[in-house]
Amino acid sequence: MSDKIGAVMVVGGGVAGIQAALDLAESGYYVYLVERSPAIGGVMAQLDKTFPTNDCSMCILAPKLVECGRHPNIKLVTNATITGISGEPGNFTVTIKQAPRYVDPEKCVACGDCAAKCPVKVKDEFNEGLGERKAIFIKYSQAVPAAYMIDATKCLRILHAEKAKAAGKEPPCGLCAKACQRGAINFDDTEKTFDLNVGAIVLAPGFDEYVPKELKALGYGVYPNVVTSIEFERILSASGPYGGHLVRPSDKKEPKKIAWIQCVGSRDRKLEKGAYCSSVCCTYAIKEAIIAKEHSAEPLDTAIFYMDMRTYGKGFEAYYEKAKKEHGVRFIRARVFRVEPGEKEGDLRIRYADESGEIKHEDFDMVVLSVGLRPAKTAVETAKVLGLELNHYDFCRTQEADPVATSRPGIFVCGTFRTPMDIPQTVMEASAAAAAAQTLLSSVRGTMVKKEELPPEKDVSQEEPRIGVFVCHCGINIGGVVNVPEVAEYAKTLPNVVYATHNLYTCSQDTQQLIKEKIKEYNLNRVVVAACTPRTHEPLFQATIREAGLNPFLFAFASLREQVSWVHMKDKEVATQKAKDLVRAAVSKVRLAQPLSLVPVSINRSVLVIGGGVAGMTAALELANQGFKVDLVEKEGELGGLARRRLHFTAEGNEVAPIVNNLIEAVNSHPNITIHLNTKVVEASGYVGNFVSKLSNGKEITHGATVIAIGGREYKPTEYLYGQNPRVMTQLEFEDALVKGQEPVAGANTVVMINCVGSREEPRMYCSRVCCTESIRNALKFKEKNPQARVYILYRDIRTYGFKEDLYTKAREKGIVFIRYNPENKPKVEVAGDKLKVTVFDPILKEDLIIDADVLALSAAVLGPEDAREVGQLYKVTCGMDDFYLEAHMKLRPVDFATDGVFLCGLAHAPKFLDEAIAQAKAAAARAATVLTKDAILAGGIVSKVDPAKCSGCRICVNLCPYNAISFDDVNKVSVINEAVCKGCGVCAAACPSKAITMGGFTDEQIFAEIEALLS
């Protein structure tokens, strides 16, 4: 076998590729990030907001863009595609074709002088053709790399160069080159072909939006006010063609009524390869309807025409309910058959059939088509070059037991090229693919990485404060409410402020460079950023000023989004004044800031995995295969969890037992895994890199990272005679009886299934995700055994997302009857002799139907683990009201906890299918590896410190500390704070009666200065 290479190629620069690249680079691998366009960011960069939190998409993506662009172990290869491959897993040679950029990205500073002089205007693809760009352009304002490119098909000089040279003349134009003061323009740039040697490949090529031109009845391309959902995102975006001002394309008037039509290009068997569900369209339509209302100066009527509302993800159902009840979004269950001109010019009339079949129509100012996700054409071409198998829809074929492995060893896939999915699932699978590559290349980890070189930290202790203030528009998140230029001008008047400016997106790569330049130009020794939220962005700005030679704690953040624009949305004058107040307070605080130090803390390179189900075993095995020692703790007497005890079939109908048994065998035989059965964690202490956990079997485990995978459980219904009649059972019980041939299932001729039992209603306002597919799969398995049997599925919405839609189609073809019910009028179940009488109101027939059933199967809710809070308290991690754990960030950190070094996966996070649990477990392993592969981590900074001379030894702080970071020195009779454990909450400093404790970055002087500034 040839030598392995410690580098990985990630193909695709969207959020999946970015996450995979960062995980790999942070765990000891050199990464080539290959992107076909001029900049990374993908479709997420085009979005205005994200669901269900309504966070600004660019705000949460930009820090990762910048981190990717500045990482010493990530090489961006843009305008590039794969044309060939040879070799074997661990050592591939990949041939890359890179199109000419005609602009040197090393010289370009994205000043825009070139575009200002370019005379050629063309439609802007990033803005979906709704706006224009020049022939020399930057993909979008926050693009990484922040460099321009020339479109050779539009550039006058390049188009006519050969003809001019043949005639002995100077080619025309060239104005961009004359305008560029850095000499970055290179008209002689050519296509390059080169080879890269890598050990593994991660495919993250994203998707193409469906273009609905073939659906003539919907009016796309015929009526200008019929737009696609991605076009509507650009209309809403502050960086879009209309600057975030909600207007319709035809006449730029503000609409008063907007309709969304769902399932355009999805769930449509008339379209070639379009029968699957695109998974995200329902929730993104809800998001757009809510955000459109926020953008509209006048009351806006929004209506969504749909078949089934598929809000199956974590937090999505509550988002749906909020849209209806708080925002007034109308939901119309219907079949739309035509969009035509309305009564007024530019208006549109939707003709549709409602649920009862009655033909109706309604006029709107705009119509948004919720288009589906198609496999990217370039991805299909790349898959062919790489020799990968595709499924019948041209997505990458994978297996449920290993959802990120392709048909070719050494090549892994993640994101929407595997199946349509939302951003959290995409990020999870990106980390999972990274884990797979890490495992393959574990023996060559760290062999190709470069170390980051930072300039020496400047000593500013003897200098007068020289403060720079950077105020962010955040698109229109802040700028649409706050008069940002006025705030920036006000900042210039504050004491010690020597520079102040405002930026459209302060988190963009070009603004990070600007901050560094201004620190040097104005000799700044302190920086204030007034922007969205420190939660996601403070580390980015601290890293930027550190690159400029400043201590990262000579920084203050004024939160103008959460504390100003979101809460004072209706009063711009008040918002602007409050923004000035917060900036004034931040300046007053940072003026007194002092450099803080970070101390290296060694890492224990072993892991504790709590939970021995499929997710826990997968995480343990992935980490063990990478060479880490793993302790696997399981409270039961056997491994396998819920999958071993109750599951027989996967979502696709395959057997679960082989998957579980293979995992159990692999875990039991692995030399790096120690298994603790019939065991619980009873006590835990420590911090990232150095945890200590005591087990109920008396053993004490030291470990650097923790993975919590304690599973979930099935709701035991209190309705529909469950527990009172043996013919009423849950789906898992029905499945078990079906497989074992037990009565009453074996002899049943009529089976009724009721979905959403215990879900989608208080106190569990969430969708249990798996139930619809589970009921349909069990119905099909039952029909296989008894083809003449009658099966009725009573449902609220059928949520067979992705390729699971095929099961729904197959079920209808097999004669399974689906009857929708409303939660206000649930089915009624009564005993009728040796049968059950099920009564359900049919909204189509508008009358009650009575079904005599032999068996009633209830699709019961998936519940969070019963010991979630008990385990969570040990590691200082939190649960939601539903007992599922809360991740650090719903979109971009879905397997991390807010507590560093602790990760989660499986049902403990949220309901999910087996393949999704496996992917998340691999993701947790990848994230844990980013900690375990470090020689040390840095601790300290904003932490508390004790002045021994003032400490009275009262121990109040010891008892109050929620993180157990404070101990008592019995010899010297003083409290001692472990900086690695301290989280800087300040409880101790506030409580200390002797004022012996000070908080770094939050001294009494700084806090009083802030208060005085706010009150002045």
CATH of the domain at 476: 3.40.50
Work out how many domains the chain is built from and give that number: 7
Mean pLDDT estimate for the chain: 95
Helix (H/G/I), strand (E/B), else coil: 217? helix
- 651 and 706 inside one domain: yes
- 831 and 873 inside one domain: no
**How far is Cα 631 from Cα 310, in angstroms, rounded to an integer?**
39
Query: Is the separation of the CB atoms in 189 and 402 below 8 Å?
Result: no
Beta strands 855-860 and 750-757, pairing class: parallel
Share above pLDDT 70 across residues of the chain, in percent, rounded to a whole number: 100
Q: What are phi and psi of 883, to 5 degrees?
A: 75, 10
**How far is Cα 269 from Cα 319, in angstroms, rounded to an integer?**
30
Residue 67 half-sphere exposure toward CB, CA atoms < 13 A: 23
**How far is Cα 730 from Cα 716, in angstroms, rounded to an integer?**
8
pLDDT in tens, 841-856: 999 889 999 999 999 9
The type of residue at 285 is A
Tokens in use for 12?
Answer: 């695709």
Residue 449: predicted pLDDT:
96
Preceding peptide of 744 cis, ω within 30°: yes
**How far is Cα 302 from Cα 236, in angstroms, rounded to an integer?**
15
Residue 403: predicted pLDDT:
97
Query: Is the separation of the CB atoms in 481 and 507 below 8 Å?
Result: no
Residue 2: predicted pLDDT:
59
Tell me, yes or no, whether 459 lies in a domain.
no
The DSSP code for 803 is: G
Helix (H/G/I), strand (E/B), else coil: 215? coil
Q: Is the pLDDT of residue 619 over 90?
A: yes
Residue 6: predicted pLDDT:
97
Residue 1: predicted pLDDT:
42
Q: Is the pLDDT of residue 475 over 80?
A: no
- 520 and 505 inside one domain: yes
- 330 and 384 inside one domain: no
pLDDT in tens, 573-611: 999 999 999 999 999 999 999 999 988 989 999 999 999
Q: Is the pLDDT of residue 758 over 50?
A: yes
**How far is Cα 1003 from Cα 947, in angstroms, rounded to an integer?**
13
Among 374, 392, 420, identify where a domain stops. Answer: 374
Beta strands 629-633 and 606-610, pairing class: parallel
- 365 and 385 inside one domain: no
Tokens in use for 930?
Answer: 């980013």
- 432 and 328 inside one domain: no
H or E stretch at 618: helix 614-625
Q: Residue 510: which pLDDT band, with cuts at 50, 70 and 90? A: confident
Query: Is the separation of the CB atoms in 592 and 564 below 8 Å?
Result: no
Alpha helices, DSSP H, located in 854-994: 868-874, 914-932, 956-960, 987-991
**How far is Cα 830 from Cα 832, in angstroms, rounded to an integer?**
6
Q: What are phi and psi of 80, to 5 degrees?
A: -130, 150
CATH of the domain at 969: 3.30.70.20
CA angle 626, 628, 631 (to 5 degrees): 130
pLDDT in tens, 878-896: 998 889 999 999 998 999 9
Tell me, yes or no, whether 663 lies in a domain.
yes
Closest CA to 384 of 375, 804, 39: 375
- 700 and 718 inside one domain: no
Tell me, yes or no, whether 616 lies in a domain.
yes
Among 863, 889, 908, identify where a domain stops. Answer: 863
pLDDT in tens, 523-533: 999 999 999 88
Query: Is the separation of the CB atoms in 946 and 975 below 8 Å?
Result: yes
Query: Is the separation of the CB atoms in 482 and 580 below 8 Å?
Result: no
Q: Is the pLDDT of residue 1012 over 70?
A: yes
- 650 and 660 inside one domain: yes
Query: Is the separation of the CB atoms in 877 and 664 below 8 Å?
Result: no
Q: What distance, in Å, lies between the first and last C-alpha atoms of the chain?
A: 73
Query: Is the separation of the CB atoms in 397 and 419 below 8 Å?
Result: no
**How far is Cα 317 from Cα 616, in angstroms, rounded to an integer?**
27
Residue 679 half-sphere exposure toward CB, CA atoms < 13 A: 25
Query: Is the separation of the CB atoms in 378 and 400 below 8 Å?
Result: no
pLDDT in tens, 690-714: 999 999 999 999 999 999 999 999 9
Residues 6+ apart with CB under 8 A from 841: 821, 822, 825, 847, 848, 849
Residue 32: predicted pLDDT:
98
Residue 283: predicted pLDDT:
98
pLDDT in tens, 247-280: 999 999 999 999 999 999 999 999 999 999 999 9
Exposed / middle / buried, residue 691 (Cβ in 10 Å: 0-12, 13-18, 19+): buried
Residues 6+ apart with CB under 8 A from 763: 881, 882
Tell me, yes or no, whether 478 lies in a domain.
yes
Q: What are phi and psi of 334, to 5 degrees?
A: -160, 170
**How far is Cα 629 from Cα 674, in angstroms, rounded to an integer?**
8
Residue 507: predicted pLDDT:
87
The more confident residue out of 539 and 413 is 413
Q: Calculate the dihedral angle through the C-alpha atoms of 584, 586, 588, 591, rounding to the nearest 10 degrees.
A: -130
**How far is Cα 41 from Cα 217, in angstroms, rounded to an integer?**
34
Tell me, yes or no, whether 460 lies in a domain.
no
Q: Is the pLDDT of residue 59 over 90?
A: no
- 325 and 343 inside one domain: yes
- 89 and 202 inside one domain: yes
pLDDT in tens, 69-100: 999 999 999 999 999 999 999 999 999 999 99
CATH of the domain at 884: 3.50.50.60
Tell me, yes or no, whether 1006 lies in a domain.
no
Among 354, 374, 394, identify where a domain stops. Answer: 374
288: domain range?
209-374
Residue 536: predicted pLDDT:
81
Tell me, yes or no, whether 900 lies in a domain.
yes
- 363 and 380 inside one domain: no
Query: Is the separation of the CB atoms in 965 and 974 below 8 Å?
Result: no
| CB atoms closer than 10 angstroms to residue 674 | 16
Alpha helices, DSSP H, located in 155-201: 156-166, 175-179
- 172 and 196 inside one domain: no
Tell me, yes or no, whether 568 lies in a domain.
yes
Residues 6+ apart with CB under 8 A from 196: 7, 9, 32, 77, 93, 94, 96
Helix (H/G/I), strand (E/B), else coil: 979? coil
Query: Is the separation of the CB atoms in 435 and 922 below 8 Å?
Result: yes
| CB atoms closer than 10 angstroms to residue 542 | 21
pLDDT in tens, 417-473: 999 999 999 999 999 999 999 999 999 999 999 988 899 999 998 999 999 999 999
Query: Is the separation of the CB atoms in 835 and 854 below 8 Å?
Result: yes
Query: Is the separation of the CB atoms in 735 and 878 below 8 Å?
Result: no
Phi-psi label, residue 720: left if phi above 0, alpha if psi -120 to 50, beta otherwise: left
pLDDT in tens, 153-200: 999 999 998 898 888 888 999 999 999 999 999 999 999 999 999 999
